[in-house]
A and B are shown apart, each in its own frame.
Chain A
Amino acid sequence: MISLEQAYTAARERWQALRTSPVPIFFVGAATCGRAAGAGETIERLRAEIQTRGLQAQVIETGCLGPCALEPLIIVHKPDTVRTCFAKVGPGEAVQILERHVLGNDPCGEWAVSRVGPDGWDAVSILAHEPMMRGQVRRVLANCGVISPEDIDHYLARDGYRGFQQALSIGPDAIVDAVKRAGLRGRGGAGFPTWRKWEACRQTPADQRYLICNADEGDPGAFMDRSLIEGDPHAVLEGMLIAALALGASRGFIYCRAEYPLAIVRLQVAIRQAQALGLLGDNILGSGFSFEVSIKKGAGAFVCGEETALIASIEGRRPMPQPRPPFPAVSGLWGKPTIIQNVETLANLPLILRHGPEWYTELGSGTSRGTKTFSLAGKVKRTGLIEVPMGITLRQIVEEIGGGGIDGKAIKAVQTGGPSGGCIPAAKFDLPADYESLVAAGSIMGSGGMVVLDEDTCVVDLARYFMSFTQSESCGKCPPCRVGTRAMLFLLERIVAGKGTADDLQRLDNLAQTVARGSLCGLGQTAPNPVLTTLRYFQHEYEEHIDKQQCTAFVCRSLIRHHIDPERCPGCTACVKVCPTAAIDGVRGAPHVINPEMCSQCGSCLSVCPPIHAAVYRTSGDLTRYEPRSEKRKSGAAAQDLESAACD
């Protein structure tokens, strides 16, 4: 086994060689989102081309760089040229870039994430100046998209595990002090001060303590932890080492949801690599500190994100939460003091130890110090993984970084905190994104899922959606959650179906109070939040559904009727062919008619009617909505627009 210092030297040399490589390198963002966009095929094609042409070139898979909507993203290192980032690179595009840019001199402006200005080529090497990247400060995500997550040398070369070495030299008490001065708060949702959570564990005498990394990331709409693990798994391991050292824990577990198979593989590789270098195992680096990590897979239960349920799951029992006290920090896994920490919280630790708490607190606002990663998704132009200093406003996130709404739609609200959080309306977008402000507005920071809603999102339907999620994920142990969420869902479904009554809103509110106060665990206690915030800020939408049978966003199927405007319809039969209930009467050349009794309001006709006709229109309550006409003959053929980077 080589010594760690030797490993560092070798790593730095390799990294430097990579930076000044005389052969071209294709860094391909190949995390799960990249692969979903087709990065896997791109990689295969590149490798095949390199082989057939007998080229000297490398393809390196990296994690997620952030702008997921632009994937597959590749960064091309061409010797003696500045590095260029290309977006939406499928296999065909990759070959073009290889031929024209790497082998030739063509900037390939159609895919390069840069402006090809009148003065010619002014490619951007990393995306730092792009609108999406400009407002971000990528500290925790610094390595994602830049290094190969399966090569520990890349991590070492960029000062990986230096934070842990610092931690070893200052000892547990000083580690806790540093974390306290940095003001690190749990990034999993509630924002509890990390040092204080650790103290309860440290002060409980025990022969064994456990550290668990919660990588269950159950919030639908959140993928920060996945991206971090897939892009930079060693950051998580290093964070665990630091925490374990501070706590006196010799055994660690990473509980990762089974829906993240690539993340699990990356972790397994990283653990083996760390073990090989003596960074995991007995008597690490001769310090006397021992730490073993193993991976536990989830099996599809959101409630396993709750601490006592997670512990039960690891113990092989039904993951039904337990009342607290006793708190896990005092009596947790197998009765021993246990600390459960979110992935991002842990990934902050190497930075705090490496750069010091003063550096760490340079960013942030009030008691929310440092940065926060967010999964920006939904009805916004630039979706993806971002990291911003806490305290920047929601407006800055949604409009400057996210690029605002798509297709010219007005943004209505942003949903943070997943099923435990709430909707914050656009009028409040000047709120800073910090723990206290979001709570005051009725939501929570949550783990980082941030879903943008626009005028075409029905918040009543969204509340129903969240309640349906909570109902299906409720463990069933306590009546307030098991039955209470079901009762709330019943009322919401009634409202969405146009059968709501005048007292339903009061009933919803009463039930929300019971569920919030009576539930055993955080899942139930926070389950009413989406309903409560939408009632608070969008009561008029609920009232429209109830009083006018109207869904202003045109989402709630029972409140929508589809019609065909005979003055617009040329009789092309496109809709007749796709109607699943054969509800459209029509012969070629004559305007078609929808039979309202057969129509299931599925919307297929709307989606296929060519925009040049836009003959299908909808009514709901008092409103009528036509689709805009355009020159397009086929629906869905959106022009390539990198600036808008719409996924449509």
Chain B
Amino acid sequence: MSAIAAASSVMEVLANYPPGAENLIAILQEVQEHDGYLSETALRGLAAAMEVSENEIYAVASFYTHFRFRPPATHTIHVCQGTACHVRGGYQILYDFEERLGIRAGEMTPDLNFGLERVACVGCCALAPVVLVDGTVRAGMKPKTVRSLLSQLGRQPGATPA
């Protein structure tokens, strides 16, 4: 992400909002949708345009699980950790993903192809356990479907976690 690109995307987003910190989350969400993450350049641009320091924006953004400060992986899998998903084996699903990708939740594979995250609850509890694959809900997950899902996404079976 070049500095110029990041700065101009910030200006584009800001143009849609009235001034003030009231819309900070919405603005950050739009910037992240646009750039994929919140870069230093983007936050610098925001701080200059709003009445807050970069540190204060970062402090707000770092509170929320949704905001990333590094570019995301090619595919991100969110495993739902809601109660219903948990009692119907969601913890097993997370464990399987962790084993097969060789990473813990919150991390990315070294080739940056896969990111694994927990998500609190997407509200599909009747169809637990549930995962989100690049934002799309996949319900009724089982250990076997973990395998087939990953191979659909291009993960080679037995790929050595580096």
User: How many residues of A are in contact with the other chain, CB < 8 A?
Assistant: 66
B121 close to A259 (CB less than 8 A): yes
A-contact bits for B48-78, CB 8 A (1 contact / 0 none): 0000100000011001111100000000000
A647 close to B127 (CB less than 8 A): yes
A383 close to B138 (CB less than 8 A): no
B119 close to A316 (CB less than 8 A): no
Q: Is B29 an interface residue (CB 8 A)?
A: yes
Mark the stretch among B1-9, B83-91, B148-156 that contacts chain A.
B83-91
Give the CA-CA distance A36 to B123 in the complex, in Å. Answer: 10
Question: Which chain A residues border B20 with CB–CB below 8 Å?
Answer: 316
Q: Is A636 an interface residue (CB 8 A)?
A: yes
Q: Is B124 an interface residue (CB 8 A)?
A: yes
Question: Which chain B residues border A384 with CB–CB below 8 Å?
Answer: 126
Q: Is B92 an interface residue (CB 8 A)?
A: yes
A470 to chain B, nearest CB (A): 11
A430 to chain B, nearest CB (A): 23
Partner of A462, one of B28, B66, B87, B120: B87
A-contact bits for B128-162, CB 8 A (1 contact / 0 none): 10100000011110111001000000000000000
Partner of B124, one of A36, A376, A473: A36
Q: In chain B between 74 and 133, which residues have their CB closer than 8 angstroms to a CB of chain A?
A: 81-88, 91-92, 95-96, 99-100, 118-128, 130
B140 close to A647 (CB less than 8 A): yes
* Residue with the highest number of chain A CB atoms closer than 10 Å, among B28, B96, B123: B123
Question: Which chain B residues border A301 with CB–CB below 8 Å?
Answer: 63-65
A453 close to B95 (CB less than 8 A): no
* Residue with the highest number of chain B CB atoms closer than 10 Å, among A32, A258, A316, A580: A316
B127 close to A68 (CB less than 8 A): yes
Partner of A297, one of B21, B25, B121: B25
Q: Is A532 an interface residue (CB 8 A)?
A: no
Q: Is A296 an interface residue (CB 8 A)?
A: yes
For residue A69, which residue of chain B has the nearest CB?
A: B126
Give the CA-CA distance A648 to B140 in the complex, in Å. Answer: 7
B83 close to A378 (CB less than 8 A): yes
B95 close to A602 (CB less than 8 A): yes
Partner of B120, one of A297, A300, A600: A300
Q: A384-B126, A603-B143 are in contact. Are A319 and B63 (CB under 8 A)?
A: yes
* B residues apposed to A, CB below 8 Å: 20-26, 28-29, 52, 59-60, 63-67, 81-88, 91-92, 95-96, 99-100, 118-128, 130, 137-140, 142-144, 147
Q: Given contacts A68-B127, A220-B125, could you give 11 more A-B pairs where the C-beta distance is less than 8 Å?
A: A32-B122, A36-B124, A36-B130, A221-B84, A298-B25, A299-B67, A318-B59, A318-B60, A385-B126, A462-B83, A608-B143
